[in-house]
Structure 1
Amino acid sequence: MTTLHQEHPTHEHTHGPACGHTRVPHGDHVDYAHDGHLHREHAGHWDECEAGGHSAHEGHEHQHGDGCGHPAVTHGDHVDYVHDGHRHAAHDGHWDDH
């Protein structure tokens, strides 16, 4: 799985711990959920943080949903669940690892 580098044009809001958007730890950085997509700071601008390709999270037995204990983040046309530094999304009977 790769992450695409797509700059978010004209993003004037500065994300941070008190900005009001959900923080999503993601590998070596933090994404911020904002208007159905995820932003990350990169080289003085904000990128859209989107996974490229399809990566199933193998052996993921936990079922995410309301009350599961993991933060839910609206992401485009679905909901991701933040779990152990990853975002999991339901897909064709399994969980994808974003």
Structure 2
Amino acid sequence: MTTPHHQHASHPHTHGPGCGHIEVPHDGHVDYAHDGHLHREHAGHWDECEREEHLRHDGHEHRHGQDCGHESVLHGDHVDYLHDGHRHAAHEGHWDDH
């Protein structure tokens, strides 16, 4: 995963178990969904955790949506679904792996 290092400036809230935000574990760390962003702790500050590249999730037959059984996370202008340690987002007729 290519994760750019974009520090989330002025983030006074400390995320952690029970903080009230959805935990998204992947790639050996935990992101926290907060106000349409995903934050991760890094070197004493919080980063925006976003991929730089477009990664298509081929072979994903399940269709996410309301009541599909997977946690939904508001992410910018769309909704991601948490599934098997991934975030899936609908994109031009396929699912992206965030």
Relative to the length of structure 1, the TM-score reads: 0.97
Residue aligning to 2:39: 39
Deviations 1:16-40 (Å, cap 9, x if unpaired)? 1111001111221110000100000
Q: Secondary structure at the match of 1:4?
A: coil
Any unmatched runs of 5+ in structure 2? none
* Greater share of residues in strand: 1
- How much does 1:13 deviate? 0.3
Residue aligning to 1:77: 77
State the Cα RMSD in Å: 0.8
How many residue pairs get aligned? The number is 98
The reply to whether residue 3 of structure 1 matches residue 31 of structure 2 is no
The reply to whether residue 58 of structure 1 matches residue 58 of structure 2 is yes
- How much does 1:10 deviate? 0.9
Aligned-residue identity in percent:
74
Any unmatched runs of 5+ in structure 1? none
Partners of 1:67 and 1:80 lie apart in 2 by 14
